[in-house]
Amino acid sequence: MLYPDDSTTMGRELRLKQQYFFVSASLQDILFRHRKHHTGFDDLPDKVAIQLNDTHPAIAIPELMRLLMDVHDIGWDAAWDICRRTFSYTNHTVMPEALETWPVALVEEMLPRHMRIIYEINRRFLDEVRHRNPGDLDLVRRVSLIDETGGRRLRMANLAIVGSHTVNGVAQLHTDIIRETIFADFHRLDPDKIINITNGVTPRRWLNQANKPLSDLICLHIGEGWLRDLRELRGLEPLAEDAGFREAFQEAKQSNKERLAGLIDSRLGIRVDAASLFDVQVKRIHEYKRQLLNLLHVVHLHDRMCADPGAAWVPRTVIFSGKAAPGYDMAKRIIKLIHDVADVINHDPRINGLLKLVFIPNYDVSTAADIIPAADLSEQISTAGTEASGTGNMKLSLNGALTIGTLDGANVEIAEAVGEENMFVFGLRREEVKRLHDEDYDPMRFIQSSRALANVLRKIHDGYFSPTELERHRPVVEDLMGEDRYLVCADFEAYLAAQERVAELYRQPEIWTHRAILNVARMGGFSSDRAVHEYAKRVWNVQKNLEAVEQEFHGGQFVHGMQQLAQNPDLLQFVGLGEQFLAAGAELKGSN
Ligand SMILES: *Cc1c(COP(=O)(O)O)cnc(C)c1O
């Protein structure tokens, strides 16, 4: 229902309406509940913590100011103090185009009162900046909530930082990067404000529920303690040396692979060999995540196999899944290209089924839970410095896949935890990426020095995979030959070499399995329990034990709010949720 196509003015307006609608409903609910047990709002920050999950709900800052001042008659200073002690903000990306900015004219038109409040927040904030940094006009321009270059725009990240007591990045490398780049000025103004809390994943869903065969095997050997304290997985480490355990571990993986092969056959009508290496890249389709790098390797492999089908190839099934944002043209081209390459490879009699390529549609959490337990190889190949954390990387390693990856996001910390020798690390480091960009990166240099890359790009360019429309994939290839913003060409040869190491190791199942077990055993630090406890202690200042807090959370309030909304079809229509929202509500009613 959410995230409409924001490539049009109408889509962008709808998006801002949705953001404001949910934010306002949540804040009014929070204040209503607080008033039932307390007089006034002075102690709101002691009882309530509001975590801004990215900048999308940042309009909550002026909205809480509005509610406190206009509805509850609190003065500016007291209201601002309550806000700043209640809000904190998690940054999830360093992509400049993903940092939300709204045209001031649009906010003015839709939320005029909020725009006045934002101006006043900005005036007071910039006064303080000027007072502490006299004469530094450029600093004032950079940290202002309003971008005055070109059409005036409201910078939601700046608003979120100024209105929060704590800001966090989601992996150590990512936090280092935001301190040094996009938020460097704010970091200098307040060096204690930006902290790191590395993401985690829940072991209940991503291991116990998603992977029964492995979960049962683990419980058999170390009990059930790991379900609540994932660090207990350490107990598996010695079992990596036990041939009997390795065999049982392999059997669990094999049964997951057979199950997924069955799903692929029934959903897509594609037969894959469950004994082949399952090479998996599942995540949103985005150029920075470099599904193209993976696909170029597939085309290369196909080419090599055709040239020498009798060689001792490791059979592979390459699995992609992921959605493209509605207005993201290049991402949709990449999906189309994957399908076209799959159509040729999967029907090529010359390679005798040695290589299969599968795109599983409609990637969501349920699909993820079907695919991840069956993976042998986890593709985490973003350009170094672009992936804030990643959590797919954690789910896959926790399920006994080996990672082929760059030193990016949480991959860095996963490598430290499981040991670099138990991963296939390749490619440019963050500093090298920065240097290439500074030196005016030219992809043609890398294409001219790699016959494999030149050959693969020529085949796609000339229509080998789109015989009915030879020019279809030229825009993708031309982008790689021209700008190649995410350095696919620069990392291609290193990626090929890493993939050769993968195939070599897969021929030695005992060593492969040994490393897979060590991956699982050493992933205990990547539980969402650890992450949530860090937020509780370092950000929300939660004193009492978390189980008591969990019991106090009344999920029922949300359903109650939904039912009330369902009785106001005009409002739902206004925020673009009309029929879909009512249908979802009806479904909720029928479930528990
Ligand atoms: C875990 C997960 C993601 C995040 O994957 P990344 O590889 O970290 O980008 C995205 N979508 C779904 C459905 C997931 O389960």
The CA distance from 514 to 245, in Å, is: 10
Closest residue by Cα to atom 2, ligand 1, is: 392
β-pairing, 153-155 vs 146-147, is antiparallel
Distance 165 CA to ligand 1 centre (A): 28
Same domain, 186 and 280: no
- Provide CB contacts within 8 A for 554, sequence distance 6+: none
User: Is residue 468 assigned to a domain?
Assistant: no
At which of 132, 162, 196 does a domain end? 196
Is 137 a domain residue?
yes
Q: How many A from CA of 284 to the centre of ligand 1?
A: 7
Active site residue 228: no
Look at residues 506, 501, 519, 512 and name the one whose alpha carbon lies nearest to residue 419. 519
Cα–Cα distance for residue pair 581/592, rounded to 1 Å: 18
Listed residue (54, 58, 65, 55) closest to 31, CA to CA? 65
Contact of 165 with 422, CB cutoff 8 Å: no
Q: Is residue 466 part of a domain?
A: no
In this structure, which long-range contacts are made by residues 21-25, counting pairs with CB atoms below 8 Å and at least 24 apart in sequence?
21/575, 22/57, 23/57, 23/59, 23/60, 23/63, 24/63, 25/561, 25/565
Co-location of 22 and 146 in the same domain: yes
Active site (annotated) includes residue 515: no
Longest CA–CA separation in the chain, Å: 81
Residue nearest to atom 4 of ligand 1 (CA): 392
Domain boundary (141, 174, 196) is at 196
Nearest CA to ligand 1 atom 8: 390
Strand positions, DSSP E, 249-312? 277-282
Q: Which atom of ligand 1 has the smallest separation from the CA of 369? A: 15
- Could you tell me which residues are beta bridge partners of residue 153? 103, 147
Atom of ligand 1 nearest to the CA of 368: 15
Which stretches of 316-364 are DSSP H helices?
329-345
Candidate from 95, 288, 382, 391 with most ligand 1 atoms within 8 A of CB, to mutate: 391
Q: Are residues 187 and 313 in the same domain?
A: no
Count of C-beta atoms within a 10 Å radius of residue 360: 21
Q: How far is the CA of 93 from the centre of ligand 1 (A)?
A: 14
Q: For the chain, how many structural domains are there in total? A: 3
Catalytic hit among 17, 92, 205, 323: 92
363 and 264, same domain (yes or no)? yes
DSSP 274: T
The preferred substitution site among 284, 362, 378, 380 for testing ligand 1, maximizing ligand atoms within 8 Å of CB, is 284
The tens place of each residue's pLDDT in the chain, 592 residues long, gives 666 677 888 888 999 999 999 999 999 999 999 999 899 999 999 999 999 999 999 999 999 999 999 999 999 999 999 999 999 999 999 998 888 999 999 999 999 999 999 999 999 999 999 999 999 999 999 999 999 998 999 999 999 999 999 999 999 999 999 999 999 999 999 999 999 999 999 999 999 999 999 999 999 999 999 999 999 999 999 999 999 999 999 999 999 999 999 999 999 999 999 999 999 999 999 999 999 999 999 999 999 999 999 999 999 999 999 999 988 999 999 999 999 999 999 999 999 999 999 999 999 999 999 999 999 999 999 999 999 999 999 999 999 999 999 999 999 999 999 999 999 999 999 999 999 999 999 999 999 999 999 999 999 999 999 999 999 999 999 999 999 999 999 999 999 999 999 999 999 999 999 999 999 999 999 999 999 999 999 999 987 655 555 555 555 566 667 777 778 888 888 888 877 777 776 666 655 4
To which residue do tokens 């399908």 refer?
339
Mutate to test the pocket of ligand 1, among 291, 395, 406, 411 (most ligand atoms within 8 A of CB): 395
In a domain, 371, yes or no: yes
Instruction: Work out the end-to-end distance of the chain between its first and last CA atoms, rounded to an integer number of angstroms.
Output: 21
Q: What is the pLDDT of residue 547?
A: 59
Q: What's the CATH number where 27 sits? A: 3.40.50.2000
Amino acid letter, 332? K
Instruction: Examine the domain organization and report whether 101 and 129 are in the same domain.
Output: yes
Distance 391 CA to ligand 1 centre (A): 6
User: Taking the CA of residue 167 as centre, how many other CA atoms within 13 Å lie in the half-sphere pointing to its CB?
Assistant: 29
DSSP class per residue in 394-407: HHHHHTTPEEEE-S
Determine the structural domain holding residue 64 and report its residue range.
9-196
Q: Is residue 119 in a domain?
A: yes
What is the reported pLDDT for 592? Answer: 41
Q: Are residues 341 and 376 in the same domain?
A: yes
Task: Count other Cβ atoms within 10 Å, centred on residue 39.
Answer: 7
392 Cα to the center of ligand 1, angstroms? 5
130: part of which helix (H) or strand (E)? Answer: helix 112-132
- Joined together, the tokens standing for residue 499 give 């993939």
- Give backbone dihedrals phi and psi of 246, rounded to 5 degrees, phi first: -60, -40
Q: 421, 511 in Cβ contact below 8 A?
A: no
Buried residues in 248-277 as b, exposed as e (16+ CB within 10 A): bbbebbebbbebbbeebeeeeebebbbebb
Instruction: Note if 336 is an active site residue.
Output: no
Could you tell me if 301 and 156 lie in one domain?
no
Residue 242: CA atoms inside 13 Å, Cβ hemisphere, count? 11
| 3-state secondary structure (DSSP) of residue 557 | helix
Under 8 Å between Cβ of 48 and 549: no
Q: Is residue 311 part of a domain?
A: yes
**166 carries an active-site annotation:** no
Identify whether the C-beta of residue 353 lies closer than 8 Å to the C-beta of residue 371: no
pTM: predicted TM-score of the whole model, two decimal places: 0.95
In which residue are the tokens 């202690």 written? 537
CA 394 to ligand 1 centroid distance, Å? 10
Q: Specify whether 145 is located in the same domain as 271.
A: no
36 tagged catalytic:
no
Q: How many residues does the chain have?
A: 592
Q: Which residues line ligand 1 (CB under 6 A)?
A: 283-284, 363-365, 368, 390-392, 395
* Angle, in degrees to the nearest 10, between helices 488-506 and 291-307: 60
Q: How many Å lie between the centroid of ligand 1 and the Cα of residue 283?
A: 5
pLDDT for residue 98? 83
> 270: which DSSP letter?
-
Whether residues 169 and 207 share a domain: the answer is: no
C-beta separation of 301 from 452 below 8 A: no
Cα 369 from Cα 399, distance rounded (Å): 10
Residue nearest to atom 10 of ligand 1 (CA): 283
Ligand 1 atom nearest residue 363's Cα: 13
Residues 182 and 309 occupy one common structural domain: no
In a shared domain, residues 230 and 336:
yes
pLDDT at residue 299 in the model: 99
In the residue annotation, 246 being an active-site residue is answered as: no
Together in a domain, 263 and 311: yes
Q: What is the DSSP secondary-structure string of 448-472?
A: HT-HHHHHHHHHHHTTTT-TTSTTT
Do the domain assignments include residue 423? yes
Structural domain includes residue 325: yes
Question: Of 171, 196, 221, which one is at a domain's C-terminal end?
Answer: 196
